[in-house]
Amino acid sequence: ITDLDTMDRNLMKKHEINPLIVARSNINLKVLVIDAQFLYDFNSILLSIPSLEVLKIRCSQPININLQAQRDKIRLHELLIECSDDQINEYKTSRTTSEIHCFIQSLALYIDFTSLERLALVSISQSVIIDAATLMVIE
């Protein structure tokens, strides 16, 4: 589930998913790729998909957070955060002050990190595994 970049507004959408289709109770969705900017809008829908195991979030704009609306969290096996090589390298060298660290902390408002078996930062050329409890780089 993604939006067109501002530079690509003239391109036609390849696939469009209606939120009502995603929210059907009989859907057996295991893996979903979503832009971070849509996480707030789809949070309640994602909670209604118990079969969802893997969520890949494309790091884009900052997440809209409504602290009062956050009661239940999404339970997953894997959370993959797609970002740039520079963002991964920055996380490895200055974890707590990096932009991605703040992003991950924001995601923790929506996702139950205690249920994660794998948390990773991924880019085209590299990936790192992160301990979901401490947010320290493992590999």
Domain ranges of the chain: 25-130
Q: Please give the pLDDT value at position 43.
A: 66
Most confident of 25-29, 70-74, 109-113, 130-134: 130-134
pLDDT digit string (tens) for 86-134? 999 999 988 777 888 888 888 888 889 999 999 999 999 999 999 999 9
Q: Please give the pLDDT value at position 10.
A: 44
DSSP states along 48-88: T-TT--EEEEE--SPPP--GGG--S-B--SEEEEE--HHHH
Q: Which residues contact 14 (CB under 8 A, 6 or more apart)?
A: none
- Asked whether residue 19 carries a pLDDT value surpassing 60, the answer given is no
